[in-house]
Structure 1
Amino acid sequence: MGTSLSSLRRQGRRLGIAVLFVVAGGGLWEFQERQHQDAYTWMGVPTWETFSPTTMHRVLRNDGYLVGWSDIRVNPLWVSYQVEAVGDSQIGSRPNFQADWRTLWPVSADSYSGSGYDRGHLAPNYAIAAVHGRSAQVDTFLMSNMSPQRPELNRQLWQRLEAAVMDHFAPRFERLQIITGPIYPERFMDNVFNRVGFVEVPEAFYKIIVAPHNDAPLALAFIMPQDVNGNEPLDDYLVTINEIEARTGLNFFPDLAVDIASVLEGELRLQGWALDEVAKKPGRYQ
Structure 2
Amino acid sequence: MRRRISRWRRSLRQMGVGLVFVAISSGLWYAQEQEYRDQLSWMGVPTWESLTPTSLHRVLRNDGFLVGWSDVRVNPLWVSYTLHAVEDPRAAPRPDFQRDWRTLWPITADSYFGSGYDRGHLAPNYAIAVVHGREAQRQTFLMSNMSPQRPDLNRRLWQRLEAAVIDHFVPRFGSLQVITGPVFPEGFMNNVFNRVGLVEVPEAFYKIIVVPGAEPRALAFIMPQEVRGDEPLDHYLVSIDEVEARTGLNFFPNLPEAEAVRLEGRVHAQGWGLEEVARLPGRFD
TM-score between both structures, scaled by the size of structure 1: 0.97
Asked whether the 8 Å contact 2:90–2:129 carries over to 1, the reply is: no
Distance in 1 (CA, whole Å) between partners of 2:246 and 2:178 is 18
Q: Is 1:84–2:97 an aligned residue pair?
A: no
Q: Which deviates further from its counterpart, 10-19 or 148-157?
A: 10-19
Distance in 2 (CA, whole Å) between partners of 1:140 and 1:28 is 27
Q: Is 1:136–2:139 an aligned residue pair?
A: no
Aligned residues: 285
SS of aligned partner of 1:102 = coil
Distance in 1 (CA, whole Å) between partners of 2:126 and 2:28 is 31
Aligned to 2:241: 242
Superposition pairs of residues 184-203 of structure 1, within 5 angstroms:
184-203=184-203
Distance in 2 (CA, whole Å) between partners of 1:42 and 1:170 is 16
Distance in 1 (CA, whole Å) between partners of 2:86 and 2:284 is 22
Q: Which deviates further from its counterpart, 88-97 or 235-244?
A: 88-97
Q: Is 1:163–2:163 an aligned residue pair?
A: yes
Displacement of 1:5 in angstroms is 3.6
Displacement of 1:30 in angstroms is 1.4
Asked whether the 8 Å contact 2:91–2:130 carries over to 1, the reply is: yes
SS of aligned partner of 1:32 = helix
Aligned to 1:42: 42
Aligned to 1:257: 256
Displacement of 1:172 in angstroms is 1.7
Structure 2, unaligned runs of 5 or more: none
Displacement of 1:179 in angstroms is 0.4
Distance in 1 (CA, whole Å) between partners of 2:28 and 2:218 is 33
Aligned to 1:54: 54
Superposition pairs of residues 212-223 of structure 1, within 5 angstroms:
212-214=212-214, 216-223=215-222
Displacement of 1:37 in angstroms is 1.4
Asked whether the 8 Å contact 2:169–2:272 carries over to 1, the reply is: yes
User: Alpha-carbon deviations, 1:186-213, whole Å to 9, x = none?
Assistant: 1211111110000000000000000011
Distance in 2 (CA, whole Å) between partners of 1:265 and 1:58 is 25
Aligned to 2:204: 204
User: Alpha-carbon deviations, 1:24-48, whole Å to 9, x = none?
Assistant: 2111211221222122101111011
Distance in 1 (CA, whole Å) between partners of 2:219 and 2:14 is 55
Distance in 1 (CA, whole Å) between partners of 2:217 and 2:72 is 33
Displacement of 1:87 in angstroms is 2.6
Amino acid at match of 2:75: N
Q: Which deviates further from its counterpart, 1-10 or 115-124?
A: 1-10
User: Alpha-carbon deviations, 1:138-161, whole Å to 9, x = none?
Assistant: 111110000000110001110010
Aligned to 1:126: 126
Distance in 1 (CA, whole Å) between partners of 2:88 and 2:218 is 26
- Identical residues among aligned pairs (%): 67
Distance in 2 (CA, whole Å) between partners of 1:200 and 1:166 is 29
Aligned to 2:72: 72
Amino acid at match of 2:18: A
Asked whether the 8 Å contact 2:92–2:134 carries over to 1, the reply is: yes
Amino acid at match of 1:225: P
SS of aligned partner of 1:160 = helix
Displacement of 1:23 in angstroms is 1.4
Distance in 1 (CA, whole Å) between partners of 2:29 and 2:235 is 43
Distance in 2 (CA, whole Å) between partners of 1:283 and 1:70 is 31
Distance in 2 (CA, whole Å) between partners of 1:26 and 1:18 is 12
Aligned to 2:99: 99
Asked whether the 8 Å contact 2:46–2:249 carries over to 1, the reply is: yes
Distance in 2 (CA, whole Å) between partners of 1:34 and 1:125 is 25
